[in-house]
C-alpha cells in the first residue's frame, strides 16, 4: 500500500482561555500560580539548546539530506534513549504503579467513522489567515494570543515597578484590582477572548479578521496589515487504505491516541475484568497538519502522545479530575524542576462535552507553553461511539446494580514536548572552573548513558581492566566505553550528553581494585571499590527512586 498524504481541510476542541492574573509567591502549584523569572525568557538559550540537540545526536531535522521536511524531526542515538526513558517513566508511573490502570497499543489506522463520531472530521480545525504581502500563513487565534501575551507582559512590568516602588508594604492583589492601567489591559484581553469565542462558535470568522485589523496586528515578516479572510483548516491528514483512490477507502492518520482507547473500552474492560474506576494508558504517534509549526519540536506534524483515559462513575468525575490534576503535577515535579517554572492554566471556556479542563504549562526559554492537558470529557466519547457504531457501550456496575456509560478523565502529555522541556531545563553552562562547561543535568534515571568507563591511558593494562568493568556493568546499565582523547575531553563529552557518572581506571586501580568515580554536576571525584560500582549505580540511576517519590 502506498501511503499518500493529502491535506484535508476545516476549532480545536479545547480552546484555551486567557490567563487569570496570578499572584506571585511560592508553594505548591495551584490554579492561580507563578510569575516567570525574567532570566528564563531567553531566546539565545533556546538557540543553544537546539544547536546542542543536533551536535550531540539528540534531534535531527527530518530528511536533512534533501533540505529537510518542515516541522518533522528525527531522534538521534542519544535522543532515542532519552525519549525512551521519559516514556518508560510515564508508563511505569501510570501502569506499573496502578493496579487499576492497564496498557494498550492500538493501531494508527482506524475506521474513518471513528473520526466522524469523535467530532474531528467536522470540528478539528484551526482558523488560518494569510498575509498577502509575505504570503505567510498564521493561526488567527495565535496572532491574537500573542497580542494578549504582550498585554500580560505589560501587566507584569507594572506590577514589578510598583513592587519596587512600595517595597515591603506592597499589596500585589490590591494593586492588580485597583490599578487603572492593569484593569484596562485585562479588560482588553477579556474582550479579545470573547470576540474570538463568538467568532469561532458562530462560524462568523469575519469578526476575528476585523479584530486583528482593529488591534493593528502586523505580519512579523512583511510588517503589513494586508490580511486575507480567516478560514478554517482541518488538521487531520487523510490517506487511502487500498491502491484504488476512489475516495471511499480514505482514512485518517490519527490526530490523538485517545480514540484508540475509547473504541477498545469494552474489549479491555471485559477481557481484563476491569472494575470501574479504571484506566487505560497508551503511548504512540499522532499526526496533525500544523500549518504554523514553531519552536523546534514543540509543535510538530508527527509527534508522540502519552495518554491515559480514566473511566469512572458519573458524578465522581470532578473528584477524579482533581486527583489526576495533582498527580500529574507531582509527576512533573518529581523530575526535579523548580516549581516556579510550572503553572496550571484552567480553561475557562469549555468544549461543549467537557466539564473541566486544565493545562500544565512549563516555562520554556520562549515563555510558558502547554505540556500536558487534563480533561474531564464526560460520557461524550463513549456515547458518540455508541451512537455511531450502533453497539451498546455500557458498564454494569455490580455495586449499584445499574448500567451506564462511564465518564472519562483524560491525562494527555506530548512526549516530544516533555523531551524539549527536559533539554531546556537541564541544559547548563557551568562557569565555575574558568572554561565554560556545557552539561545536561538530566535526572540520572532519564540519562541516555548511566556510566562511562574510561581507562586513563591506552596502555599498561588499563584498557583491559576498564573493559572488564564495562562488560560486567553493561548487562544492568546503559554504559559506554571510550579510550580516545584526553580524560578531560572525554569527561566534557559525557557531561554534554548528561552521563551522570564517569568511572576512570588508572594505574592505582590495578593494585587497589578501585576507580575514580566522577559526578557530572559537581565534578566531585571519589575513590570507590570496583566491587561497589553496581550498588552505587543501582541506587542512583534506577527509576525506582523516582517512582517511590510519587
Please report, as ranges, the residues that interact with ligand GAP according to CB under 6 A. Answer: 14, 256, 258, 288, 290, 299-300, 303, 305, 307, 370-373, 410, 412-414, 416-417
Q: How far is CA 344 from the centre of its chain?
A: 14
- Of 334, 332, 339, residue with least CA distance to 24: 339
Residue number, 292 or 528, with CB nearest to ligand GAP: 292
Residue number, 343 or 417, with CB nearest to ligand GAP: 417
For residue 165, the minimal CB distance to ligand GAP (Å) is 38
For residue 149, the minimal CB distance to ligand GAP (Å) is 18
Residue number, 118 or 509, with CB nearest to ligand GAP: 118
Q: How far is CA 286 from the centre of its chain?
A: 13
Cβ neighbours of 81 (radius 10 Å): 20
Residue number, 290 or 514, with CB nearest to ligand GAP: 290
Decide: 233 and 292 in contact? Cβ < 8 Å.
no
Percent helix, strand, coil in the chain, to 5, is: 40, 25, 35
Task: Determine the Cα–Cα distance for residues 265 and 499; give it in Å rounded to an integer.
Answer: 41
- Of 153, 127, 124, residue with least CA distance to 141: 127
The length of the chain, given as a count of residues: 550
Residue number, 125 or 151, with CB nearest to ligand GAP: 125
Residue number, 83 or 520, with CB nearest to ligand GAP: 83
For residue 361, the minimal CB distance to ligand GAP (Å) is 9
| Exposed e or buried b per residue across 433-463, where buried means at least 16 C-beta atoms within 10 angstroms of its C-beta | eeeebebbbbbbbbbbbbbbbbbbeeeeebb
- Measured from each CB, the residue nearest to ligand GAP is 414
Task: Determine the Cα–Cα distance for residues 170 and 489; give it in Å rounded to an integer.
Answer: 51
Decide: 410 and 377 in contact? Cβ < 8 Å.
yes
For residue 308, the minimal CB distance to ligand GAP (Å) is 10
Residue number, 284 or 444, with CB nearest to ligand GAP: 284
- Of 253, 261, 354, 363, residue with least CA distance to 308: 261
Residue number, 371 or 517, with CB nearest to ligand GAP: 371
Helices 140-166 and 206-214: crossing angle, nearest 10°? Answer: 40
For residue 76, the minimal CB distance to ligand GAP (Å) is 18
Cell numbers of 254, please?
Answer: 490519527
For residue 197, the minimal CB distance to ligand GAP (Å) is 18
Task: Determine the Cα–Cα distance for residues 86 and 67; give it in Å rounded to an integer.
Answer: 30
For residue 58, the minimal CB distance to ligand GAP (Å) is 16
Q: Is 137 exposed, middle or buried (0-12, 13-18, 19+ CB in 10 A)?
A: middle
For residue 258, the minimal CB distance to ligand GAP (Å) is 4
Amino acid at each position: 500500500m502506498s501511503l499518500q498524504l493529502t491535506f484535508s481541510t476545516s476549532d480545536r476542541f479545547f480552546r484555551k482561555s486567557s490567563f487569570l492574573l496570578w499572584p506571585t509567591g511560592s508553594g505548591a502549584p495551584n490554579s492561580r500560580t507563578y510569575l516567570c523569572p525574567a532570566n528564563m525568557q531567553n531566546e539565545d538559550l533556546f538557540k543553544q539548546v537546539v544547536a546542542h540537540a543536533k551536535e550531540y545526536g539528540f534531534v535531527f531535522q527530518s530528511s536533512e539530506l534533501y533540505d529537510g521536511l518542515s516541522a518533522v524531526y528525527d531522534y538521534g542515538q542519544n535522543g532515542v534513549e532519552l525519549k525512551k526513558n521519559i516514556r518508560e517513566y510515564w508508563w511505569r508511573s501510570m501502569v506499573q504503579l496502578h493496579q487499576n490502570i492497564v496498557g494498550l497499543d492500538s493501531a494508527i489506522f482506524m475506521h474513518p467513522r471513528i473520526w466522524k463520531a469523535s467530532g474531528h472530521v467536522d470540528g478539528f480545525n484551526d482558523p488560518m489567515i494569510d498575509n498577502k504581502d509575505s504570503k505567510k500563513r498564521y493561526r488567527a487565534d495565535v496572532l491574537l494570543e500573542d497580542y494578549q501575551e504582550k498585554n500580560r507582559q505589560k501587566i507584569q512590568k507594572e506590577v514589578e515597578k510598583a513592587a519596587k516602588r512600595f517595597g515591603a508594604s506592597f499589596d500585589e492583589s490590591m494593586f492588580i484590582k485597583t490599578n487603572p492601567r492593569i484593569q484596562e489591559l485585562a479588560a482588553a484581553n477579556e474582550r479579545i477572548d470573547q470576540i474570538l469565542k463568538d467568532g469561532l462558535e458562530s462560524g462568523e470568522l469575519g469578526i476575528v479578521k476585523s479584530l486583528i485589523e482593529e488591534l493593528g496586528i502586523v505580519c512579523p515578516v512583511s510588517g503589513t496589515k494586508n490580511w486575507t479572510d480567516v478560514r478554517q483548516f482541518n488538521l487531520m491528514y487523510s490517506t487511502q487504505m487500498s491502491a484504488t483512490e476512489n475516495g471511499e477507502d480514505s482514512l485518517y492518520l490519527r490526530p490523538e491516541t485517545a480514540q484508540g482507547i475509547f473504541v477498545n473500552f469494552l474489549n479491555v474492560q471485559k477481557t481484563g475484568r476491569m472494575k470501574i474506576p479504571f484506566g487505560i494508558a497508551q503511548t504512540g504517534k499522532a499526526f496533525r497538519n500544523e500549518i504554523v509549526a514553531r519552536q523546534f519540536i514543540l509543535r510538530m506534524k508527527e509527534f508522540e502522545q502519552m495518554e491515559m483515559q480514566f473511566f469512572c462513575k458519573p458524578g465522581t468525575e470532578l473528584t477524579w479530575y482533581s486527583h489526576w490534576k495533582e498527580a500529574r503535577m507531582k509527576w512533573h515535579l518529581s523530575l526535579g524542576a523548580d516549581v516556579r517554572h510550572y503553572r496550571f492554566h484552567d480553561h475557562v471556556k469549555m468544549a461543549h462535552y467537557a466539564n473541566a479542563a486544565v493545562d500544565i504549562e512549563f516555562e520554556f526559554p520562549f515563555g510558558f507553553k502547554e505540556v500536558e492537558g487534563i480533561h474531564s470529557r464526560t460520557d461524550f466519547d463513549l456515547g458518540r461511539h455508541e451512537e455511531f457504531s450502533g453497539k451498546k457501550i455500557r458498564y454494569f456496575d455490580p455495586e449499584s446494580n445499574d448500567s451506564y456509560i462511564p465518564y472519562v478523565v483524560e491525562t494527555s502529555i506530548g512526549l516530544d514536548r516533555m523531551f524539549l522541556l527536559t533539554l531546556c531545563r537541564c541544559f547548563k553552562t557551568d562557569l565555575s572552573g574558568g572554561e565554560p562547561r556545557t552539561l545536561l543535568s538530566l535526572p540520572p534515571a532519564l540519562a541516555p548513558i548511566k556510566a562511562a568507563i574510561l581507562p586513563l591511558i591506552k596502555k599498561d593494562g588499563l584498557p583491559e581492566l576498564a573493559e572488564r568493568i564495562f562488560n560486567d556493568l553493561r548487562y544492568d546499565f546503559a554504559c559506554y566505553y571510550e579510550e580516545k582523547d584526553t580524560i578531560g575531553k572525554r569527561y566534557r563529552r559525557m557531561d554534554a550528553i548528561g552521563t551522570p557518572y564517569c568511572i576512570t581506571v588508572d594505574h592505582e586501580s590495578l593494585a587497589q581494585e578501585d576507580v575514580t568515580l566522577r559526578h557530572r554536576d559537581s565534578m566531585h571525584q571519589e575513590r570507590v571499590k570496583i566491587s561497589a560500582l553496581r550498588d552505587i549505580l543501582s541506587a542512583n540511576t534506577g527509576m525506582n527512586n523516582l517512582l517511590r517519590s510519587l
